[in-house]
Amino acid sequence: MARASKHAYAWKFTSRFRRNAFGWRGSRAAIGRIDEALAEINAVARADRNLAAEGAVALIERLSPALEQIDSSSGAIGRAVNGAIRDLVTIIADAPAERHTRGKWLDRLWAAHEADAIPYIETLADYWGDLCASTACRSAPCTRARCSCWTCSCMKSST
């Protein structure tokens, strides 16, 4: 397994995805920002898959708090977020990270999912097996007091 990137990278999207960054009429702007963040992460993935996965985790952590004021009645923002999560999960799952690094990512994703007040990232749970990235990891018994769908032996490395 490859090690996580040691150098710091200044993600451009982080300043755009802060808590309550978008007002109730901000669907169009938010969808544009999501597309920009995905493009940035995909560009980094061409050179460093672990760094891109770190960016993907950071974006998922920021999505729900940034979007919680948006009027989502049209469903457009929900579709954009679900598509983004699908793409970000692929980046995270494909990263050749060490077990310890992946465990930390999973902890952060779990915390983001738990804190998801407006259920924008609820579909993340559907991809948990992919995020674990190994059969042994997916089939391991629960290591913490969590819902059984969020179990993974990768979590042992972060306790």
Q: Which amino acid is at 92?
A: I
- Tell me the pLDDT tens digit for each residue of 53-90: 999 999 999 999 999 999 888 899 999 999 999 999 99
- Tell me the pLDDT tens digit for each residue of 3-53: 445 557 999 999 999 998 998 888 999 999 999 999 999 999 999 999 999
Q: Any idea where the domains of the chain sit in the sequence?
A: 13-158
Query: The whole model's pTM is what?
Result: 0.82
Burial 14-33 (b: 16+ CB within 10 A, else e): eebbeeebbeeebbeebbeb
Phi and psi torsions of 98, nearest 5°: -70, 160
